[in-house]
Amino acid sequence: MEIPFSRLLFEQGAITQAVIDHPYSGSGTEDDPYVITWIPDDPRNPQLFSASYRWFLAVLISLAALAAALVSSAYSGGLVEVVEYFQFSKEVAYAGISLYVLGFALGPLIWSPLSEIYGRRRIYIISMASFTAFTAGTAGVTNTESLLILRFLAGSMGSSGMALPGGVIADIFPATIRGLALSMYATAPLLGPTLGPTVGGFISESIGWRWVEGVLTIFSAVLVIAIVFLLPETYAPVLLQARAQRLQQTTGNIYHSASDKGKKSLFKTLGTALSRPWLFLFGEPIVFLLCLYVSIVYGILYLQFAAYPIVFQQVRGWSEGIGGLSFLGILVGILAATAYTFPVYFQYRKKCLASPTGRLPPEARLPSAFIGALVLPIGLFWFAWTNGPSIHWLSPIAAGVPFGFGMPFVFLLALNYLVDTYTIYAASVLAANTLLRSTFGAVFPLFTGYMFESLGIHWGASVPAFLALASAPIPFLFYWYGPRIRRKSRYASEAEAYMLRLQGVQVETQQQRPKQESTNSIDFQEKNTHTIQIKMESSRQGFLQDRQLVNFLGRTLDPPACESATHIFKLQRPFVIT
């Protein structure tokens, strides 16, 4: 039975007769409550939404991320007028960019855990509505303090547009196509900042700098309305908790959702969210190095928002609107890289299906990052030594193409490596990435003006090129030494062992068994459901020596992979992952 869209949207605990009649485990008492899960063909299960509706939601949340990213850099398009109006230095003007991006760093530490307590929809509505209000306030400010404070608050609120889409995509898409949806969303943090100066430059030149914020306020207000009336709750634990309460009110029996067990308080959840990213960032070499690389690239992108106006407007004398067009080279590179990620994704997907294990190690995602690592410094050095007025303007603009082309590969493939490695800790790892990345994005524009004044436009622009060149070996390092580093990583080992236990594999540490038990053993026990339970023992603490079986069981598998397992282990009945 279908649930009307209005109930789907506004009633988290909407139920049907089929939901009431379903035979849940338990007896419905205080001591043995019914434990509810999704029923077959459940109309409220977000992963069973129609394909067209799921892709519509992916576009909607990507637009919300784009709006937040646009506001971050469109401000720079009217920077000359802002400086003239407030009569402050350009360094203070750049602080308007930096404080906004600093809000990007701090906001996700709050929005992500709150979305896991109250759901994605409520947090989206509250944060995006506040973001719209603060952006509107920026359009009407009359003093420096209000401008900077409102920019910071707008960035903090708008950061939900960056922090929540990954969770929503995971909620509504199965693993088989999730990567494709993430690729589309992940372009927003790069596309928005690149489009912003062009949009802001023409608006500022035509109707004034205040309307830069005004037009973007209208855009974000339209998105807020769309979110209110088109985006339902998608987070399964929140939905099942609401359903348990509704069933209890309707039937009088006791219902619990599976996620009720071990539920943390708000204070403890926020405490973990605020502390764990720092623990990963400075305690895990994998997290630190990859986050550092992504952060350097992101910082260089925001450095260009201060560098390009110097090169094209101050040195070459271009207007604000025409000066904004100088970012089109970077934009073309980003779009080309985005298009290229689709065949890369399908090739990766094909290799996964062809693999006997049904998956590939995290290092399989890195070869495409080699492209980004190589072309980034090429584009930056090209820009640095062709940005003088004696060389045709087309050359420094064209230099933005390889820079823009390399960024998405570094972003996507580094983040995928982190998620593949840390699985259950992915939220904390990505929060660490956002924190460091946004901090670099906030700081880099602040010293750009001093750097160009001290070193000149050639050597000043070469500094980020040298940073990109020094960071280029990082993807190669993990490609060759990644497995060894992961084996020595406490949290990577724990994440892999946890994923194995979810699949019914008993993982014992060295301290939990006699020292002489140093050989691997595989026991097959057939259950009533014909699921195969596999028990493995290994002499290596927290790790299984049979890497092929680890890789096979480490993720939810596709039917072809299950068929491969049946063949490899010569099982009499089909292999099923539960």
Tens of pLDDT, residue by residue over 116-125, are 788 899 999 9
Range of the domain at 516: 503-568
My answer on whether 171 and 210 are in the same domain is yes
My answer on whether 191 and 323 are in the same domain is no
- CB 68: neighbour CB atoms within 10 A? 32
My answer on whether 483 and 518 are in the same domain is no
What DSSP letter does each residue of 103-114 carry, written as one string?
Answer: HHHHTHHHHHHH
My answer on whether 95 and 240 are in the same domain is no
Which pLDDT score, from 0 to 100, does residue 266 have? Answer: 67
Tens of pLDDT, residue by residue over 292-330, are 999 999 999 989 988 998 999 889 988 877 888 898 999
In a domain, residue 91? The reply is yes
Q: Which of 430, 398, 399, 407 is nearest to 417 (CA)?
A: 430
- pTM of the predicted protein model: 0.76
What DSSP letter does each residue of 456-481 carry, written as one string?
Answer: HHHHHHHHHHHHHHHHTHHHHHHHHH
My answer on whether 287 and 151 are in the same domain is no
Number of structural domains (the chain) is 4
Listed in order, strand segments (DSSP E) in 264-406 are none
Residue 43, H or E segment? none
Q: Which of 159, 441, 502 is nearest to 294 (CA)?
A: 441
Place 506 in a pLDDT band, splitting at 50, 70 and 90.
low
My answer on whether 336 and 453 are in the same domain is yes
Which pLDDT score, from 0 to 100, does residue 554 have? Answer: 35
**Tally of CA atoms within 13 A in the half-sphere of 35 that contains its CB:** 8
DSSP 8-class letter at 364: G
Q: In this structure, what token pair is assigned to residue 155?
A: 């960035």
Which pLDDT score, from 0 to 100, does residue 333 have? Answer: 94
DSSP 8-class letter at 523: E
Place 569 in a pLDDT band, splitting at 50, 70 and 90.
very low
In a domain, residue 575? The reply is no
In a domain, residue 498? The reply is no
Q: What are phi and psi of 12, to 5 degrees?
A: -65, -35
The CATH number covering residue 453 comes to 1.20.1250.20
My answer on whether 442 and 416 are in the same domain is yes
Of the residues 232, 250, 283, which one is the last residue of a structural domain?
232
Q: 51 near 57, Cβ under 8 Å? A: no
Of the residues 232, 250, 277, which one is the last residue of a structural domain?
232
Q: C-alpha angle 209/155/293, rounded to 5°?
A: 110
My answer on whether 198 and 336 are in the same domain is no
